[in-house]
Every structure is written in C-alpha cells, then in structure tokens.
Structure 1
Amino acid sequence: MIQDSILYALGFAWRKRVFLRACFPEMSLVFVDAPEAVPPGALLAVWGVPALPLLAPGVRLVRVEDGFLRSVGLGADWVRPMSWVLDRRGMYFDATAPSDMETLLATTVWSPELLQRAAALREMIVHEGLTKYNVGVGQWSRPERGQRVILVPGQVETDASIRYGSPVVRTNLELLRRVRVAHPDAYVLYKPHPDVVAGLRLRGEAESRAVDFCDELLVHVPMHYLLERVDEVHVMTSLAGFEALLRGRKVVCHGQPFYAGWGLTQDLLPMPRRGRELSLDALVAGALILYPRYFDTQGAACGTPEQTLQELLAWRDRSRGRLSWSQRLWRPVLQLLAWWQDGKRRRSA
C-alpha cells in the first residue's frame, strides 16, 4: 500500500476526480494543472503514460487507466467507468518495461481458492456475454463453405497501447495485410474499433482499404457474439485478444499485449522477460481480481469484480443498446474534440 498522506494529481478532468478519490480514500488529493506545482518527493497520479517534462527530484508516479470490465458504452462518450487500474511501475500496455501487472503475473503464488474464483468469474463473463464496453447490436453467421474464420479487431491507431506495445505492426491495415498473406484460404473478418465507428476517434491511416484484405467488414455486431463464433483472433494489442482467450479461442499476437508471453497465445514477437507459463485462470485472477479497482454506479469503491458484473448486467438491461439522451446531446461536441486531439497526436508522432 502507498503510505503517503498526500497524492498530487496532474491533469485529471472533473468527471474523473470522484473515481480517483474512491481509489485513494485514505489520502488527501491535490489536483494540479502543471508539473511545476508538484513538490520534490511527492506521489503524483497521471492518466496513462503522458509525455511529462522534467519533474522535481524524487517525484514518484502512479499511473491510472481504465480497467478491463469498464462500462456499458464507450469511454470516449464520457460514460462513467466501473473499473480502473493503478500501476506504480509502469502500465499494463507498455511492453517496454515491467509493470505492476507483469510483476503480479510473474510472481504470484496462485491459491486453489483464487483460481476457483477466477474460473467462476470467467464462466460468468462468457455466459453473460460481457466485454469491456458492452456495445453493439445484430448477429452474424459463419460462411457456409466451412472455412476457418479469423477475426481481426481494429484499434485506434493513435492509442498508446500500439506505440508502447506493438513495435513492428502499427496500423490496422498492416495487421490485416499480414493475416491475409499468412492465411490466404481463411475467411477473414474485420471489426473496426467502436470509438472509430462512433466517430469519436479518427480512422486509421488507409483503413478505408480494409475491404481489400478481408472477406467481410462488420461494424455493429457485438464483440462477444463474434468471439463465440470465430476460430481464431489476430491482434496487435487489442483487449479483444484477452476476451477471446476467456472464450477458448486461439489468439495470435502481432504485438506484445499484457496477456502475451505466458504460454496462452501464439506470440510472433516473443517476450523473454515473461518466461512463466500461466493457466488461463491464473491470468484471469491477475487481470480481473488482483490488479483492478472497481466502482459502483455512483462512483464509490466496491470490493469485488463479481459485484461489478452484476451492476454491468443491470446497466446493460436498462440501456438495451440505446444511447442515453446526454450521450446523444454531447456526441457531436465530443466528436469534434476527439478529431482535434487525434490529429494533434498524429502530428506529434
């Protein structure tokens, strides 16, 4: 546990502050807008892995990001989260250095009770069709020719997870091209990222050519529905690869996501630093039980992922796949803001 009594927080929007307070109830939070306001030796919370100027001597970081069971709706739509992750070593999607997640997976002694709990949690997630965002409508049927079906989930190409976790393949089109070349006889599905579909993030470079390398492009079909009906999934760093593992699918990693390197995936870029072989339930225990912090629908901390699953199910039942009135009202503004931010990221890349 972090023993400091004061936590400085840099650049946290108002909508995120209630959740940060829930993560650190024992500490006094000081929100600042500039790194110069952080004193030497302080503990500083930041979102993700931002580019930071030189900080005062001895400043320690705790990085914050969305968890893996997040919401019913998109974070880019400012939908409230149901889980966050906190990391003092790095961040789970940054494969360039160890993180708390990687250390946890590499060193934890898994008790039978914890693994049984993870197995039950995994079975509930699969049975209820839960994923990170729980969006999408519609159905899809496998091709009648009996081909092997490969799903390629798209990512937002300006995301840090690609920059820090996929050193070779960095675009959706290149991932699709490699899959098509390696598997010319397979039936390849491409599903663009839901943030891109919603117009809340920019489409990837030349992503409009995705149809040249896939047999079918699926936009609105829910991710869980597809994962239950395909044979394998190819990813850069997408969380869809982890969600596919939960459902017993073969996962091929062209990048180095947090779930690669533990003997559960086919890794095209091996990670010698992660030499330990894990069971699927050990991975689930680390990623969904030990690593995240969970919230209730009011933003208060709650103890267990099981409780969060129940709240997500009730939330999904209420929403029935429809946008709320506030989401419909704010989406045009968020689209403009997102396009500006993504364009800025691209120019600085």
Structure 2
Amino acid sequence: MARRATFFGFEPWKNHIPKWFPDRNCRVVTRNPELMLRRGWPFRLLLSPRQEVFVWGFKHPPFLKKFCRLFGIPFFHVEDGFVRSVSLGALRAAPASLIIDRRTAHYDAGSPSDLERTLQTYDFAADKALMDRADRCIRLLLDLRVSKYNLGKRVDLDAMLGRRSKRRVLVIGQVETDAAIAFGCDRPITNNDLVRLAASEHPDAQIIYKPHPEVLHGTRAGVSDPSEVADVCTILKEDVTPADALDGADHVYTITSLMGFEALLRGIPVTCIGLPFYAGWGATADRQSSLRRTRRLSAREIFAAAYLLHSRYFDPGTGDPTNFETVVRRLSEMRDVTPVQQRQ
C-alpha cells in the first residue's frame, strides 16, 4: 500500500506532484494557514497511519512542523534544485530538479540541513565513481552554458561594456525579500549595499552589477533602487545569461546567490556575505562564519553532494524522473529553440 503524502504550499505545482512522487498517494493542501485550520488541518493528518508531510520551502505555518514531530509524522522541506527551467518560477515554469531535505531547506544557514551533513561527513575521496561523474557533469554544465534559470540574452560583454581596461568585479543581485537571504544571511543587507562594498574593496576595478532576472522581468519587486549606485558601477539593464556575465568576471560578490557557486565551478574567486550551502568550506571568501562547517572542500566535492547526491531530476518536457545529464541537455535544447521573448 502506497504511503499517503500531504503537500503544503505546492499549489503552483500541484499537477506535477503525481509524477514527482509516483510511489505516493498524494494530496495538495492550501498554503493559507487560516484556511488550513478551517478545513481541519493538521489534525486530519492523524487519520492516516502511513502519513508523510512535504512543505515547499518555509511556506507553512510554524506549528505544522512541531505538530508532525509531536506525532511522529515524517516531515520534508522541498525546494527548487540547482538547474531549474528555461523560464522563471514566477511565470509558472515547473522546476526540472528538486531538493528534498528532512531537516531544513538547504539555504537555511541557522540549522544543519541533510545537504550540510553530507558535506561535513561524506568520504568523497573514497567514492571515485561519484567524483568521476561530478567531473563529467561539471564539464557538461559549463560546455552547454546551462544555469539555474536559462532565459537570459546571449551577449558579448566586451561589446556591451567596451574593451576591458581593468579588472572586473561582478556583483550578483538577488530578490532581497527572498527566503534565501532571510534564512541565509545573519545581517540585513541590500543589493546596493553589496555593490558599495565591492566598490570600496576594489577601488581600481570596474564594478558590474547584474540585477536578479525576476526583478528585471518585473515578476518580483526589488527593495533597493539600482540607480542609486549607478555612480560606482555599471548596471546590466538587460537579463544577460549567467554564463556570459561570468565569462567577463575576475571576481564575484554575492549574498547567497547560486551564481556564486557557478562562478566557483569556473575557477572565479567568490566573496559571500551570507552563508549559502557552498560557503563555509574554504572554497569562498566568507563574511559569515559557521562553527558547524569545519571541513575544507573543493567546488567539485560540493557539486557532487548538492547536484548529484541531494537533487532529484525530472524531464522538463514530460515531468518524468530522469538524471542530471538528461536535464542539462534538455534545458540546453529548449533554450536554444525558444525565442528569448517567449521565455520571459
């Protein structure tokens, strides 16, 4: 008999859940706490003996996790994986990869996630097959120029900005109200703060600011106004592909963005203000410390844990379970045949 799985906060993806969890008897519940209570949740969970709960990120009322712990109901956090889609999630493009974590979301710097535990304890040196596959997968990712989102415009940065005459420091903007910053950074900071910090620490460099694609496309609101830092940086006002932006960078500054890790995979030095999953292991210059993260890891080891051991992959066209290699190739094909305006 299949286990019953109840999903909280998954409304945008409710039609995909049966394919994502084919071995579960699935039902989707509203993410509205008041409506949940009126409909008898979470008490209705007690009616099924083989029950599991999955929540999207932290889009659930705090009492739900405590309730599940009290009654011994397995509880999982689900989030977008690291190679996601050709279009934006805000435009209802379903993720082609997921991270499922029993402890907390992978971007929660305040608590150890399953991913963090693997990074802290896994014997990567003893798993030659995993590391050989990681090397092949990194090469594939870089060769096909695939990122988390794959909707930006291909550009030649030198043609856009002029011939390089000094070092270039790329500042990666994020959605400032995003949970990845709220849970991944121990201090309030805006994108403009990050730009000013990079400019003050690299006075002889050209500072290039790449706003987040969801802010550029108007699907999410920004907190800070980029025009206020136009005097200390060059702002990329178009959604440039991450690969093209990184090709021209000598150093990257980020709060917690995944693009920081994509920079590491290219051998670019990265300064992190917050503590994303890839920081704290000696691969980045960190401004937020973690007493839990005591190992020194390479970018390829972090990749192996995050992209291969802790991610599930689904064909972007059919939604059927597949692997990293297939998803990267499919996203590359979809990006190359889809006009930019149709991805946005």
Q: Same fold (TM over 0.5)?
A: yes
In 2: Cα distance, 1:124 partner to 1:29 partner: 34
Q: Distance in 2 between matches of 1:298 and 1:319?
A: 13
Task: Kindly indicate whether residue 6 of structure 2 is the aligned counterpart of residue 8 of structure 1.
Answer: yes
Deviations 1:266-310 (A, max 9, x none): 111121211111122211111111111111134433231001111
In structure 2, the CA distance between the partners of 1:231 and 1:135, relative to structure 1 (3 Å rule), is same
CA distance in 2, matches of 1:6, 1:317: 40
1:286 to 287, 305, 322: 305
- Secondary structure in structure 2 of the residue aligned to 1:240: helix
Tell me what 1:114 maps to. Answer: 130
**Structure 2 residue aligned with 1:135, among 144, 151, 155?**
151
- Mark the CA change 1:169 to 1:184 in structure 2 (over 3 Å): closer, same or farther: farther
Is the 8 Å Cα contact of residues 8 and 60 (structure 2) preserved in structure 1? no
1:164-216 CA distance string (max 9 Å, x none)? 11112521011111111122111100011000100101122344313133144
Task: State the shift of 1:99 in Å.
Answer: 0.6
Verify: 1:24 aligned to 2:21, yes or no: yes
Contact 1:4 1:43 in 2 (8 A): no
CA contact (8 A) 1:5 1:26 kept: yes
Which AA in structure 1 matches 2:22?
P
Match of 1:93 among 107, 131, 136: 107
Instruction: Report what 2:93 is aligned to.
Output: 79
In structure 2, the residue corresponding to 1:46 is in which secondary structure?
A: strand
**Which amino acid counterpart does residue 124 of structure 1 have in structure 2?**
L
Letter in 1 for 2:55: V
- What pairs with 1:329-344 in structure 2 (closer than 5 Å)? none
CA contact 1:93–1:161 (8 Å) conserved in 2: yes
Alpha-carbon distance in 1 for matches of 2:254, 2:280: 14
Q: Give how far 1:143 is off.
A: 5.5
Structure 1 distance, partners of 2:252, 2:339, is: 27
Partner of 1:323: 342
Unaligned runs of 5+ in 1: 328-349
Say how many residue pairs are matched. 322
Q: 1:284, 1:323 → 2: CA distance?
A: 31
Runs of 4+ residues over 6 Å off in structure 1: none
Moved more, 69-78 or 205-214: 205-214
**Stretch deviating more after TM superposition (257-266 or 38-47):** 38-47
Q: Displacement of 1:53 after TM fit?
A: 4.4
Aligned to 2:80: 66
How far 1:217 moved relative to its partner? 3.5
Alpha-carbon separation, structure 2, partners of 1:291 and 1:19:
20
Say which of 167, 170, 185 aligns to 1:166.
185
**Residues 1:305 and 2:303 aligned together:** no
Which of 238, 241, 253 is residue 272 of structure 2 equivalent to?
253
One-letter code aligned to 2:7: A
Match of 1:46 in 2: 55
**Conserved in 1, the CA contact under 8 Å of 2:3 and 2:52?**
no
Give the corresponding residue for 2:41: 37
Task: Give the distance between the partners of 1:144 and 1:11, measured in 2 at CA.
Answer: 47
Contact 2:52 2:75 in 1 (8 A): yes
2:272 is aligned with 1:265:
no
- Greater shift after overlay, 293-302 or 303-312? 293-302
Secondary structure at the counterpart of residue 295 of structure 2: coil
Partner Cα distance (2:21, 2:257) in 1: 29
Q: Is the 8 A contact 1:169 1:255 kept in 2?
A: no
- Partner of 2:341, secondary structure, is coil
Query: Please, which moves more after superposition, 314-323 or 240-249?
Result: 314-323
C-alpha distance in 2, partners of 1:263/1:37? 44
Distance 1:145 1:10 in 2: 49
> How many angstroms apart in 1 are the aligned matches of 2:189 and 2:297?
27
Distance 1:123 1:237 in 2: 23
C-alpha distance in 2 between matches for 1:89 and 1:115: 25
* 2:4 partner letter: I
Between the aligned partners of 1:105 and 1:7, the Cα distance in structure 2 is 28
2:227 equivalent among 190, 204, 208: 208
Report the Cα distance in structure 2 between the residues aligned to 1:146 and 1:26, rounded to whole angstroms.
57
- Secondary structure, in 3 states, of the residue corresponding to 2:196? helix
Task: Return the alpha-carbon distance in structure 2 between the equivalents of residues 67 and 17 of structure 1.
Answer: 17
Offset, 1:145: 5.9
Structure 2 regions of 5+ residues with no counterpart? 31-35
Q: Deviation of residue 104 (structure 1)?
A: 1.6
